[in-house]
């Protein structure tokens, strides 16, 4: 599927899971090199930057936590020319979809201040994507705050699964973004050659947007690590307390059980058995031994 957006001399072509015919059409229209065009037909494993004579070819992967039902990361291929920008994706990318709506409205109302080449259009687009990722991380931060409150409200056991799910989300963020720094640095060098020195500030701004996302991601991972350690410690302490109580209870019952077994032996002459109030006497022995054991445990501070 191909969607087109125009603003003055700039053209943005957005393609979702393009067919061979659609790629060939775009290749002929914008003079795309066959090697780059061939890569548009399917997802790539790694991000990269290639500079051609009339465009820059950029591949980036973004984490998809909330909006993707097909994969854990979403690839976007950018072909950035002087007067055109081509984006190729293989499923819906929510921030790109929202950007298209804003761009379309602003183009109709002629309110955009995009600039005189497609590099500026790419700048606003990638900034929107990174801003969306920052919003996703803030939602994860809110989840961590909620988990923290529940941990200290005694829900340590329930939070084990919750913390694992948040860890999975942050891990997907890390996997998708871990190569962005090097790719953006290469893009900055290519865009300076392609668009001139005036675009250097915008390249630095793009790197700044990424670094903000990276810093927030690192902070959230550290918070998660501390919360998991705290939760494990509290859970271990609570489990140890339960085991201590169960062990103490077992030892408190043991003397009484031993006395009961002794007086329950089928022997010819059993002391006390047969005397008046023999039941109460034996029960008193059990109570005395139980209380003595309890006092010993208290003295040793085992309970």
pLDDT tens sequence for the chain (303 residues):
788 888 777 888 998 888 899 889 889 888 889 898 888 888 888 899 999 989 999 999 998 766 444 446 788 999 999 899 999 988 877 788 788 777 766 654 445 556 678 888 899 889 989 998 999 999 999 999 999 998 888 888 888 899 999 998 899 899 889 899 999 999 999 988 888 888 888 889 999 999 999 999 999 999 999 999 988 888 888 887 778 777 777 777 777 777 777 777 766 667 777 677 777 777 787 788 777 777 877 776 766
Phi first, then psi, for residue 264 (nearest 5°) are -90, 0
Q: What is the pLDDT of residue 56?
A: 93
Q: What is the pLDDT of residue 60?
A: 92
pTM over 0.85: no
For the chain, what are the domain ranges?
2-235, 240-300
On whether the CB atoms of residues 119 and 191 are closer than 8 A, the answer is: yes
On whether the CB atoms of residues 118 and 82 are closer than 8 A, the answer is: yes
Q: How far apart are CA 248 and CA 254, in angstroms?
A: 10
Q: What is the pLDDT of residue 69?
A: 45
Looking at CATH, the fold of the domain delimited by 2-235 is given as Beta Polymerase; domain 2 (3.30.460)
Using DSSP's 3-state secondary structure scheme, residue 163 falls into: helix
Q: What is the pLDDT of residue 302?
A: 66
Torsion sign over Cα 67, 71, 72, 76: negative
Going by their DSSP bridges, the two strands 84-89 and 73-81 should be labelled as antiparallel
On whether the CB atoms of residues 15 and 26 are closer than 8 A, the answer is: yes
């Amino acid at each position: 599927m191909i969607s087109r957006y125009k603003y003055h001399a700039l053209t943005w072509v957005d393609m979702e899971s393009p067919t061979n015919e659609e790629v060939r059409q775009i290749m002929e229209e914008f003079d795309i090199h066959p090697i780059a065009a061939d890569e548009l037909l399917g997802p790539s494993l790694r991000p990269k930057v290639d500079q051609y004579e009339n465009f820059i070819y950029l591949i980036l992967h973004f984490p998809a936590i909330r909006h993707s039902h097909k994969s854990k990361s979403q690839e976007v291929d950018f072909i950035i020319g002087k007067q055109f920008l081509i984006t190729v994706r293989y499923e819906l990318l929510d921030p790109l979809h929202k950007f298209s709506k804003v761009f379309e409205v602003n183009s109709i109302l002629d309110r955009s201040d995009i600039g005189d080449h497609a590099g500026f259009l790419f700048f606003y687009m990638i900034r929107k994507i990174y801003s969306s990722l920052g919003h996703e991380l803030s939602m994860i931060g809110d989840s961590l705050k909620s988990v923290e409150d529940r941990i200290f409200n005694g829900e340590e056991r329930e939070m084990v699964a919750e913390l694992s799910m948040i860890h999975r989300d942050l891990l997907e963020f890390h996997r998708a973004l871990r190569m962005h720094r090097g790719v953006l640095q290469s893009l900055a060098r290519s865009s300076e050659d392609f668009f001139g020195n005036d675009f250097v500030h915008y390249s630095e701004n793009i790197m700044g947007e990424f670094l903000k996302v990276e810093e927030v991601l690192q902070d959230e991972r550290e918070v998660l690590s501390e919360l998991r350690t705290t939760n494990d410690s509290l859970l271990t302490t609570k489990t140890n307390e339960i085991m201590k109580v169960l062990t103490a209870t077992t030892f408190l019952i043991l003397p009484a059980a031993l006395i009961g077994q002794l007086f329950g032996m089928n022997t010819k002459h059993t002391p006390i058995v047969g005397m008046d109030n023999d039941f109460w006497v034996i029960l008193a022995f059990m109570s005395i031994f139980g209380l003595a054991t309890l006092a010993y445990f208290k003295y040793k501070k085992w309970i």
